[in-house]
């Protein structure tokens, strides 16, 4: 592929600007500020477009906005085989505002052979690979090893999409590994759970012991209450029996009292009669004899004396007869009453004795019931606490098991990810090894005229200088020496990366740090390259003219 001409309508400081190229070596000597870097950026933008705004501090889209305004873009003519094309591109502030058109100059018609990804379609590589292989910007000459570069260097272009994904896959796997590592439960968390489980288990055992103690107290209280209740039943029987005995005794006592009262009444009546009738009877009898004596002595008339004697004697005797009669009658009644009284006394004596009983049993039972209620409440409270502790224990134990299982699963997954990364790295290294030897051979041939040191490239494109003290990184070399290494390194890679269409090699003041002697050798290298590639070389110094 050869670039024929470009037309810049507006791009950076350049506007309405045209430049033509030949097929081999194109050299442009101009002062700083003329627009050399702008032209290089324009060529790349025609093939690959401009990156979206904001990817860097100052994107290409912002950097090359027209200074003077107007249409942002231009055209570029190029040739592939026998066909000539013209790319028309304009750019906006956003990629959505960009436009692309391809024109077939051979047929003078719009072409659909390529689309706006024309650079990748023609050269077979993306913008990044293009930049680090054939686009020599003065500020950045170091080569980078991308998966696309590896695929092309190793000759596995048809797998380059897979190769391009290796680093991305490794990065994703590493991010996933770190993410998994961050989710692993810390030993302190597991230890804290185990300590909590031990503490809860200790509380469960402690409460089990309390429950046993309360159960023993309950059994003791229940036994006492049952005994007290039996005693209470016996008490009730005793009280009932005592009550019956008391009633019988009371009835007998009442009967006895009644008989005694009746006996006393008889005795009192008998005494009263005696006290009233007996003295009168005695007086009457004594008085009768007095009147008899008085009549005998003729103190009183006999008839009166005998009449008074007779009346008084009869009255006195009648009183004694009456007393004797009543006494006889009352004696019989008294005997009957005494017999009845004795019988009642005998019956009272025959009654059973009142039995003693515990008057405080009812209060004792109430106290025992209250104690039982309190102990039952304590028991239920302990049971509830044990259940809650067991639920908490099961919950924490489940969490602990899940944490350990989760850690085990995460560690297995981490191991799988590590092994996967190791395999991917090994696969990438194996692929890299395929190009290390050929790349070193070509690099050494290109670099040999410039220095006598033994310089080598590893599978990461790191350059080392082999000395008697061992390998020394090119980082310890001067800036000019490093630039020379990077330039030769890129030149050695171009043939291996671009196996179809050969891209133009664009150099923007690339040799500014190279001394004059080495630049003489570099000119020869450029002359050799221009036989196989179109070279577009910009410089600001006459001393760097090829």
Pair 202, 140 in one domain: no
Pair 67, 216 in one domain: no
- Of 359, 378, 406, the residue that ends a domain is 359
In a domain, 180, yes or no: no
Pair 223, 293 in one domain: yes
Give every CB contact of residue 449 below 8 A, 6+ residues apart in sequence.
521, 524, 525
In a domain, 210, yes or no: yes
Q: What is the largest distance, in Å, between two alpha-carbon atoms of the chain?
A: 222
First to last CA, the chain: 23
pLDDT at residue 164 in the model? 54
In a domain, 465, yes or no: no
- Of 325, 359, 393, the residue that ends a domain is 359
Pair 337, 259 in one domain: yes
Residue 523 to residue 543: CA distance in whole angstroms: 11
pLDDT at residue 360 in the model? 66
In a domain, 467, yes or no: no
Pair 214, 110 in one domain: no
Pair 231, 134 in one domain: no
Pair 9, 128 in one domain: yes
Give every CB contact of residue 336 below 8 A, 6+ residues apart in sequence.
none
Q: What is the CATH number of the domain that holds 223?
A: 1.10.287
Q: What is the CATH number of the domain that holds 138?
A: 3.40.50.300
Helix (H, G, I), strand (E, B) or coil at 73: strand
| DSSP run (H or E) holding 89 | strand 83-90
Residue 516 Ramachandran class (φ > 0 left, ψ -120 to 50 alpha, else beta): alpha
Closest CA to 87 of 106, 100, 96: 100
Closest CA to 514 of 466, 464, 457, 451: 451
What total number of domains does the chain contain? Answer: 2
Q: Contact at 8 Å (CB) between 73 and 50? A: no
Pair 245, 337 in one domain: yes
Q: Contact at 8 Å (CB) between 72 and 10? A: yes
In a domain, 411, yes or no: no
Domain extent for 269:
197-359
Helix (H, G, I), strand (E, B) or coil at 535: strand
**What strands, in cross-sheet order, belong to the sheet with 505-508?**
25-29, 535-539, 505-508, 135-136
In a domain, 22, yes or no: yes
Residue 165 to residue 280: CA distance in whole angstroms: 162
Pair 126, 219 in one domain: no
pLDDT at residue 432 in the model? 64
Pair 132, 236 in one domain: no
Pair 210, 347 in one domain: yes
Block means of pLDDT (10 residues each) for the chain, length 546 residues? 96 94 93 92 95 68 85 95 95 91 95 95 90 79 58 51 68 89 88 92 93 92 82 70 80 83 77 69 75 77 76 75 73 80 82 66 79 90 93 92 91 92 81 67 76 70 68 68 79 83 91 83 85 92 88
In a domain, 328, yes or no: yes
Give every CB contact of residue 283 below 8 A, 6+ residues apart in sequence.
316
CA angle centred on 262, ends 260 and 268, rounded to 5°: 100
Residue 161 to residue 474: CA distance in whole angstroms: 31
Three-class DSSP labels, 220-281: HHHHHHHHHHHHHHHHHHHHHHHHHHHHHHHHHHHHHHHHHHHHHHHHHHHHHHHHHHHHHH
In a domain, 174, yes or no: no
Residue 152 to residue 125: CA distance in whole angstroms: 9
Pair 204, 352 in one domain: yes
Token output for 478: 């001067």
Helix (H, G, I), strand (E, B) or coil at 86: strand
- Of 331, 359, 387, the residue that ends a domain is 359
User: What is the reported pTM?
Assistant: 0.54
Q: Distance between alpha carbon 88 and the CA centroid of its chain, in Å?
A: 60
């Amino acid at each position: 592929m050869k670039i024929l001409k470009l037309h810049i309508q507006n791009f950076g400081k350049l506007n309405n600007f045209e430049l033509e190229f030949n097929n081999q070596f194109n050299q442009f000597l101009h002062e700083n500020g003329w627009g050399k870097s702008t032209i290089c950026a324009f060529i790349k933008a025609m093939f690959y477009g401009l990156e979206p705004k904001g990817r860097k501090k100052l994107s290409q889209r912002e950097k090359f906005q027209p200074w003077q305004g107007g249409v942002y873009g231009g055209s570029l003519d190029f040739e592939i085989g026998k066909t000539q094309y013209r790319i028309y591109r304009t750019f906006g502030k956003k990629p959505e505002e960009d436009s692309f058109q391809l024109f077939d100059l051979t047929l003078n018609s719009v072409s659909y052979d390529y689309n706006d990804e024309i650079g990748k379609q023609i050269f077979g590589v993306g913008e990044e690979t293009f930049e680090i292989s054939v686009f020599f910007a003065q500020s950045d000459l170091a080569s980078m090893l991308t998966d696309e570069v590896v695929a092309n260097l190793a000759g596995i272009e048809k797998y380059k999409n897979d190769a391009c994904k290796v680093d991305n896959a490794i990065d994703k796997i590493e991010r996933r590994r770190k993410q998994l590592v961050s989710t692993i439960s810390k030993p302190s968390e597991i230890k804290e759970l185990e300590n909590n489980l031990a503490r809860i288990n200790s509380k469960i055992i402690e409460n089990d012991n309390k429950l046993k103690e309360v159960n023993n107290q309950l059994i003791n209280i229940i036994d006492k209450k049952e005994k007290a209740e039996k005693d209470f039943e016996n008490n009730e029987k005793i009280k009932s029996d005592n009550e019956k005995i008391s009633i019988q005794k009371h009835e007998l006592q009442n009967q006895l009292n009644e008989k005694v009262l009746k006996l006393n009444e008889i005795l009192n009546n008998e005494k009263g009669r005696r006290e009233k009738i007996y003295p009168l009877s005695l007086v009457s009898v004594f008085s009768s004899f007095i009147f008899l004596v008085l009549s005998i002595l003729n103190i009183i008339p006999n008839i009166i004396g005998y009449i008074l004697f007779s009346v008084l004697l009869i009255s006195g005797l009648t009183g004694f007869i009456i007393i004797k009669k009543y006494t006889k009658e009352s004696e019989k009644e008294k005997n009957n009453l005494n017999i009845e009284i004795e019988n009642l006394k005998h019956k009272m004596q025959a009654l059973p004795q009142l039995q003693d009983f515990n008057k405080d049993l009812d209060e004792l039972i109430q106290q025992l019931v209250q104690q039982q209620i309190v102990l039952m409440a304590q028991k239920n409270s302990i049971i509830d606490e044990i259940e809650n502790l067991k639920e908490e224990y099961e919950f924490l134990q489940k969490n602990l098991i899940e944490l350990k299982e989760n850690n085990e699963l995460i560690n297995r997954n981490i191991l799988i990810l590590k092994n996967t990364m190791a395999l991917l790295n090994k696969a990438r290294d194996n692929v890299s090894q395929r190009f290390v030897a050929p790349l070193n051979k070509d690099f050494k041939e290109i670099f040999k005229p410039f220095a006598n040191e033994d310089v080598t490239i590893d599978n990461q494109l790191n350059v080392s200088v082999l000395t008697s003290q061992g390998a020394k990184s090119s980082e310890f070399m001067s800036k000019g020496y490093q630039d020379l290494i990077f330039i030769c390194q890129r030149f050695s890679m171009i043939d291996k990366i671009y196996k179809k269409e050969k891209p133009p090699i664009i150099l923007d003041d690339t040799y500014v740090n190279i001394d004059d002697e080495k630049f003489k050798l570099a000119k020869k290298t450029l002359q050799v390259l221009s036989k196989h590639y179109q070279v577009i070389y910009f410089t600001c110094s006459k001393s760097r003219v090829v």
